[in-house]
Structure 1
């Protein structure tokens, strides 16, 4: 699973570089909404564009596979971890208002009200 996570990080970095290297294909939001060429220049054979789509598909597949592996094998991995063992050993604090040591109907301690 660690290998898949490292591979996912490398592919995400490559995807970011592919997107940054590409030439802009239009004015973006500044085009004014002309309907003739709405999505920019038609270059479907561009290597960078195809690489971007392939890397995007790999990110989706790896993310889904990591999630599936994590859910199916997660209980066995978590049960033996040091963090889970430490959490099991720590005492659970009482709920708010329910764990006081003094009874609820006990009057407060008498205070000295004489002026000095």
Structure 2
């Protein structure tokens, strides 16, 4: 489910990029092409591209929020924990540098007199 939503999000992002690149900042857009007859007017083409941009933007926001919700709730995980999490759990955590009280197993036992002569 998560993979499908990510693929859809990527497709909609590419489509939004194309919609933005097609638009002419002066309002010409696709209507200023090289064709002799103009089926759509400049204003009408701008309206279609602008509405399409807003629709794609809304879809991207909804998909992003859905993916975030699924990720936080853990609904996208299948089969329990992931292999990465299992590997992280297996590794020993190092002690912080400069800890106040080192563990007794880390300090070698000293025998004999430790005073200077």
- Do the structures match in fold with TM over 0.5? yes
Higher relative contact order (CA 8 A, sep 6+): 1
* TM bracket, shorter-chain basis: 0.5 to 0.7
Segments of 5+ residues of structure 2 without an aligned counterpart are 28-42, 109-117
Segments of 5+ residues of structure 1 without an aligned counterpart are 27-42, 104-116
CA RMSD of aligned residues (A): 2.8
Deviation at 1:25, TM superposition (A): 3.2
- Structure 1 runs (4+) deviating above 6 angstroms are none
1:76 and 1:6 map into 2 onto residues whose CA distance is 17
Deviation at 1:72, TM superposition (A): 1.4
Aligned residue in 2 for 1:3: 4
User: Match of 2:95, SS?
Assistant: coil
TM-score, scaled relative to structure 1: 0.64
Distance change >3 Å, CA 71–CA 78, structure 1 → 2: farther
Distance change >3 Å, CA 90–CA 11, structure 1 → 2: same
User: Match of 2:54, SS?
Assistant: helix
TM-score, scaled relative to structure 2: 0.63
